[in-house]
Amino acid sequence: MNMQIGGSAVDNCGTNKQTLRAEPINWIARISAYKSENDLRGYFETALTLALFAIAWFVAWFALQYSVILGLLLTIPAGGLLVRLFAIQHDCGHGSLFGKKAINDWIGRSLGILTLTPYEYWRHSHALHHASSGNLDRRGFGDIDTITVEEYNALTFWGRLRYRAYRHPIVLFGVGPAYVFFLKQRLPFEMLGKGAKPWLSTLGTNLFVALVSTAMIYFIGWKDFLIIQIPVVLVAASAGVWLFYVQHQFEDTRWDRHKDWKRENAALYGSSFYDLPKPLMWLSGYIGIHHVHHLSASVPFHRLPKIIRDYPELRQIGRLTLLESIKCVPLALWDEASREMISFRKLRRRQLATA
């Protein structure tokens, strides 16, 4: 699978296995030193993104009065800015953007009205993701569903068909995001045994979404509102799921059984560095620097670029370019024997070769 180049191994999905893996470096402690409580920077980033989002939304609506096609095209930048608002909400959920928990929480809740993401409900699920990412024995918390080759082979015909349908790109990046943001996050039935807070968060968010939507419909009409708002949310939802996918679903990712699982290894080698062009990095709130984020979620998003400038060796771990990330789409199964993500096609070729 890999070609050796100097001290590194470069695989088919564009990531790198560096000799750095063997170095006894406490990266979590190093990265945690970049934690910041610069409230002014947090307010600036939030206010700037909100203003740009509002401008982009209304520019799309204004263009809609002259051309439906132009209006729809302009929902794309608005959707991108909604991704950035979600990234800010994400940092609030980690308590990393502002010094006081109450400020993080109230700004996070407020942004949830725009992102259609109930704050407490999402924060609980995402905390479980950070605590279990890369742990084969603790899957299913805020992740893209992933099974091993052995588990896949043990499924019935219909079980395999369901999993293949779930992992199809149209479902993962189209139907799935629409379902999550328009339906699943409106009524979180999977949280029935988790107390009242997730439901209060969800129903409270739903109430304010309805109030804001009603006000917008009153001023611009229901048809114009839906023509702009639905594509904006779909663009943001699909982009968000895509980002989450490539940050963990790449060939050279890392999964371990619980007895071998270590937080630093899971963070550094189970998460990618999605090296996007600078405008896309900014729009996505630098969440592509995901391996660093998993090392210390207390570091605010706007300080992540400084970390990889100060530690350039981190740029070579799990690095994916935009073009290389496309090659990761077929990956669907974790092969415990070869310790790599593989596609259904690759599994089939192996089975035929050994038949």
Let me know if residue 14 belongs to a domain.
no
Q: Which residues lie below 8 Å from residue 104, measured CB to CB, with a gap of 6+?
A: 91, 92, 93, 95, 96, 97, 98
Which residue range(s) make up the domain with 239?
36-146+169-329
Instruction: Give which of 83, 80, 11 is closest to 328, Cα–Cα.
Output: 11
Is 179 a domain residue? yes
Flag whether 292 is in a domain: yes
Residue 6 falls inside a structural domain? no
Backbone angles phi, psi at 247, to 5 degrees: -80, -15
Residue 121: inside a domain: yes
**Other residues' Cβ atoms within 10 Å of the Cβ of residue 271:** 25
The residue assigned the tokens 């290894």 is 265
Q: Does 274 fall in a domain? A: yes
DSSP string covering 17-83: E-GGGGS---HHHHHHTT----HHHHHHHHHHHHHHHHHHHHHHHHHHTT-HHHHHHTHHHHHHHHH
Using DSSP bridges, classify how beta strands 147-148 and 331-335 pair: parallel, antiparallel or unpaired. parallel
Q: Is residue 115 part of a domain?
A: yes
Task: Please count the CA atoms within 13 angstroms of the CA of 194 that sit on its side-chain side.
Answer: 17
Flag whether 78 is in a domain: yes
Identity of residue 159: G
Q: For residue 229, which of 82, 344, 10 has the smallest C-alpha distance?
A: 82
In this structure, what DSSP letter does residue 116 have?
A: T
- Calculate helix-pair angle for 119-132, 197-220, nearest 10 degrees: 130
Encode 164-217 in three state secondary structure: HHHCCHHHHHHHHHHHHHHHHCCCCHHHCCCCCHHHHHHHHHHHHHHHHHHHHH
What is the residue-level pLDDT of the chain in tens, covering all 355 positions? Answer: 333 333 333 445 655 544 444 344 788 888 888 987 789 999 999 999 999 999 999 999 999 999 999 999 999 999 999 999 999 999 999 999 999 999 999 999 999 999 999 998 899 889 889 999 999 999 877 788 999 999 999 999 999 999 999 999 999 999 999 999 999 888 877 766 677 777 888 999 999 999 999 999 999 999 999 999 999 999 999 999 999 999 999 998 999 999 999 988 898 899 999 999 999 999 999 999 999 999 999 999 999 999 999 999 999 899 999 999 999 999 999 999 999 999 999 999 998 888 7
Split into its structural domains, the chain has a count of 1
